[in-house]
């Protein structure tokens, strides 16, 4: 028992020291709350772990985030759920080599590894990475900790189009060039799984989402590339452009069959801005899928050949900028279509063209804790399809 308590004590000291001594701006250490929430200062979970590790010569640091949500669709029972509880761990071997992992528990009963990679830091301008990593597309796929976005639920565009949380096994490089305000990422990944030998994994309603392999006994018959550039050279503004290109994979034997694999080309742009009490963000993602006619003939699925989605959002802090707490009133509009274009062997399903309005509040009790409440209007291109949903939730990140 004494040994266990000693280990916990050492881990806690390492974690605390790492947070105070880190080089990147961290939402647990900045005293200026206006600059704290600026997009150029925000960091995500794995960046925080690497930040913490930078302050210690060797050892372990820990972190985590979690969400407990209440969702009440009109005319249906409410669902109350521990949506996710995530533990982040990092270990520093020496000045250049670190390991980061993220272990996620979803809905109390499901366990996933969301990240697990080695980071070899040559300099701030060049880090080499290998392992299970987030694909750098959009905003929320990398910044999905509950205090980093408005709304009880993550934007639907990120869920259906990106699709968040999208991570695969790969190798690559990343770095920051601060004198020109630029961050870059470039990776080689395994692709989506399009056929597992029994059925097709991709379909019209959520496009590529069912093909995420998540590092779990992944099969790879094709290599895919992904990259992103983020510009943060203007105070309060962060702009990103991302791209992904390659081909899905099918299991051995199946991958020799025509139509079992699909080409994927995706591009995205995103932006975040804040000035005093005002904040805004937006995102657009488009993907072109090839050989979907052959795939649909083989699998009897209804995968579209083009998908797209975008959202725009504005927020305003109702409290004084001098207040340590923030009460953000926000509104978000989303428009996305997983059947934007289809091949001639299937018909376009207008239910897959969806539009959503989300209105609500994010009450930041302190950096790292938030209470959220919102209402959503959801509709499709089918007449009289409007539905509503009320949401509440608490979120933490440390």
pLDDT for 36: 53
pLDDT tens profile 336-351: 999 999 999 999 999 9
Which pLDDT band, with edges at 50, 70 and 90, does 18 fall under? very low
Total of domains in the chain: 1
Which pLDDT band, with edges at 50, 70 and 90, does 19 fall under? very low
Asked if the model's pLDDT at residue 221 lies above 80, the reply is yes
Q: What is the pTM of this model?
A: 0.89
Peptide bond between residue 276 and the one before it cis (omega within 30 degrees of 0): no
pLDDT tens profile 125-176: 999 999 999 999 999 999 999 999 999 999 999 999 999 999 999 999 999 9
The secondary structure of 49-99 as a DSSP string is HHHHHTTSSSEEEEEEEEEEEEEEETTS--EEEEEEEEEEEEEE-SSSEEE
* Dihedral sign (CA 135, 263, 199, 206): positive
Question: In degrees to the nearest 10, what's the CA dihedral of 25, 28, 30, 36?
Answer: 70
Residue 110 domain boundaries: 2-397
* CA distances, 191 to each of 106, 244, 248 (Å): 24, 10, 5
Of the chain, the end-to-end C-alpha distance in Å amounts to: 26
Q: Residue 342, Cα to own-chain centre: how many angstroms?
A: 27
By mean pLDDT, which of 22-36, 44-58, 211-225, 359-373 is the weakest? 22-36
Q: Are 133 and 166 in contact (CB under 8 A)?
A: no
CATH number at residue 63: 2.40.160.10
């Amino acid at each position: 028992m004494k040994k266990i308590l000693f280990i916990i004590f050492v881990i806690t000291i390492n974690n605390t020291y790492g947070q105070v001594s880190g080089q990147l701006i961290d939402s647990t250490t900045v005293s200026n709350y206006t600059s704290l929430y600026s997009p150029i200062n925000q960091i995500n979970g794995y960046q925080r772990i690497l930040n913490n590790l930078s302050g210690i010569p060797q050892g372990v640091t820990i972190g985590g985030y979690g969400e407990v949500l209440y969702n009440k669709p009109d005319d249906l029972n409410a669902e109350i759920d521990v949506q996710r509880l995530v533990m982040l761990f990092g270990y520093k071997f020496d000045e250049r080599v670190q390991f980061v992992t993220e272990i996620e528990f979803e809905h109390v009963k499901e366990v996933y590894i969301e990240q697990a990679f080695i980071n070899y830091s040559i300099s701030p301008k060049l880090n080499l990475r290998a392992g299970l990593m987030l694909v750098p597309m959009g905003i929320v796929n990398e910044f999905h900790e509950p205090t980093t976005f408005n709304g009880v639920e993550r934007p639907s565009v990120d869920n259906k189009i990106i699709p968040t949380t999208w991570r695969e096994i790969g190798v690559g490089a990343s770095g920051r060039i601060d004198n020109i305000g630029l961050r870059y990422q470039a990776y080689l990944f395994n692709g989506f799984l399009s056929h597992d030998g029994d059925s097709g994994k991709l379909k019209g309603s959520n496009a590529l989402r069912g093909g995420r392999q998540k590092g779990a006994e992944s099969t790879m018959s094709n290599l895919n590339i992904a990259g992103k550039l983020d510009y943060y050279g203007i105070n309060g503004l962060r702009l990103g452009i991302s791209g992904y290109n390659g081909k899905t994979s099918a299991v051995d034997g199946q991958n020799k069959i025509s139509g079992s694999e699909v080409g994927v080309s995706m591009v995205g742009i995103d932006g975040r801005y804040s000035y005093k009490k005002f904040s805004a963000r937006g995102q657009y993602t488009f993907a072109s899928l090839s050989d979907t006619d052959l795939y649909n003939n083989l699998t009897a699925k209804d995968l579209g050949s083009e998908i797209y989605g975008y959202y725009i959002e504005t927020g305003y802090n109702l409290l004084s900028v001098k207040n340590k707490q923030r009460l953000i009133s926000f509104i978000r509009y989303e428009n996305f279509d997983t059947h934007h274009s289809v091949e001639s062997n299937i018909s376009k399903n207008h239910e897959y063209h969806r539009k959503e309005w989300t209105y609500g509040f994010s009450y930041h009790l302190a950096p790292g804790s938030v209470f959220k409440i919102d209402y959503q209007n959801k509709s499709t291109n089918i007449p009289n399809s409007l539905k509503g949903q009320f949401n509440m939730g608490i979120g933490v990140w440390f």
